[in-house]
Amino acid sequence: MKLKQRVVLLAILLVIFIFTKVFLIDNLDTSAANREDQRAFHRMMTGLRVELAPKLDHTLQSPWEIAAQWVVPREVYPEETPELGAIMHAMATKKIIKADVGYKGTQLKALLILDGGQKVVFKPKRYSRDYVVEGEPYAGYDRHNAEVAAFHLDRILGFRRAPLVVGRFVNLRTEIKPVATEQLLSTFLTVGNNTCFYGKCYYCRETEPACADGDTMEGSVTLWLPDVWPLQKHRHPWGRTYREGKLARWEYDESYCDAVKKTSPYDSGPRLLDIIDTSVFDYLIGNADRHHYESFQDDEGASMLILLDNAKSFGNPSLDERSILAPLYQCCIIRVSTWNRLNYLKNGVLKSALKSAMAHDPISPVLSDPHLDAVDQRLLSVLATVKQCTDQFGMDTVLVEDRMPLSHL
């Protein structure tokens, strides 16, 4: 064989060797990531049932101090949370030392301060579990049980971006009125034999109060995030106009995602992937009302998208509002870890996991069976949407590693 032919042959063999090595390393890295995702899923399933108990072992810290220390830029609580039951027990039982009207917003809520100085947001029961909210996907009052269910779904999906929520029964006459501010107290009234209040908010009306069963009111309490983590509000890029006959750009522009990718904070960092995770989360719970979202301030796009205010969900189990998934099917990208988790939850696992996670909540059963069935059914639609994307663009383009910068898209 001539020298020139040998050199060419050696060059070809070298290229094949390098390609094979890179391919094997990539496969090994992907397999390792998948194995870690699987281990994380099994850890989540093992610790899914949270029994509310007052005991905090091996620490002198209060439940509030522990929960505050959990919060970091990319998660509200860690993967391993042995103290979660004690914190939620405190949220459900600690003495209320002050009650006031809720913070700004469109829906009725009360701001409570519990023994130890911890702020929580109380949302009252408005509907029975079997009530179906008709009309637009964002119609009706807030659903207190939806906040509880959404928190546990956040745990199951492995996002860890929703504040802690637990159900609670409060006696309006003995627990709230004696410590209520004048502003809140002025909104109390009696309807029949039931104590009611209507609070202060954009849609709050004296003619539409929330009423207890006698004096006892069922509701949800959401743990207030630590004040050292101030929030910043953002308009959701896939938000609705809420104006009749006026469409948002994403509703008619097929290339809208390309424009979003060129806009800060979606042009780099994790925010766009957070938006897509959130679209999956909102679709599963039937929430079409996330027109804004919050992150931590001065984060330059590095903070998580915090899953606040999830109560406009679980209103109608027949709802199949595919437009909620617009960020997913228009951008056709999703985190590998999210994709893996969704696949682990198919074949009825999601319904079973959600039911198990909520079993020990004080207001259990949190959801009716039709709503649990609907979550499972919607999961199939999410998986089908991702498959359409991978069929069109390929797995390597659609499935994005969690820490990969988005400038390549």
Annotated binding site: 107, 123, 142, 222-225, 294, 309
Binding site listing for ATP: 107, 123, 222-225, 294, 309
Q: Which of 99, 121, 129, 96 is nearest to 310 (CA)?
A: 121
Contact in structure between 39 and 268 (CB atoms under 8 Å): no
Strands (E), 46-186: 96-101, 110-114, 118-124, 165-171
User: How far, in Å, CA of 135 to CA of 317, rounded?
Assistant: 13
Letter string b/e over residues 273-309, b meaning 16 or more CB atoms within 10 A of that residue's CB: bbbbbbbbbbbbbbbbbbeebbbbeebebebbbbbbb
User: How far, in Å, CA of 19 to CA of 16, rounded?
Assistant: 5
User: How far, in Å, CA of 190 to CA of 229, rounded?
Assistant: 39
Q: Strands 118-124 and 165-171: what pairing? A: unpaired
User: How far, in Å, CA of 133 to CA of 160, rounded?
Assistant: 28
Half-sphere exposure of 166 (CA within 13 A, CB side): 25
Helix (H, G, I), strand (E, B) or coil at 215: coil
- Alpha helices (runs of H) in 264-323, residue ranges in sequence order: 271-285
Binding site listing for Mn(2+): 142, 309
Quick one: CA dihedral 293, 299, 301, 304, positive or negative?
negative
User: How far, in Å, CA of 295 to CA of 231, rounded?
Assistant: 6
User: How far, in Å, CA of 273 to CA of 77, rounded?
Assistant: 19
User: How far, in Å, CA of 297 to CA of 107, rounded?
Assistant: 24
At position 271, the amino acid (one-letter code) is R
Verify whether residue 298 is a known catalytic residue.
no
User: How far, in Å, CA of 382 to CA of 183, rounded?
Assistant: 45
At position 367, the amino acid (one-letter code) is L
Q: Which of 266, 285, 270 is nearest to 157 (CA)?
A: 285
Residue with tokens 């509701």: 219
Of the listed 289, 298, 299, 376, which one is catalytic? 289
Contacts of 391 (CB under 8 A, 6+ apart): none
Positions annotated as catalytic residues are 289
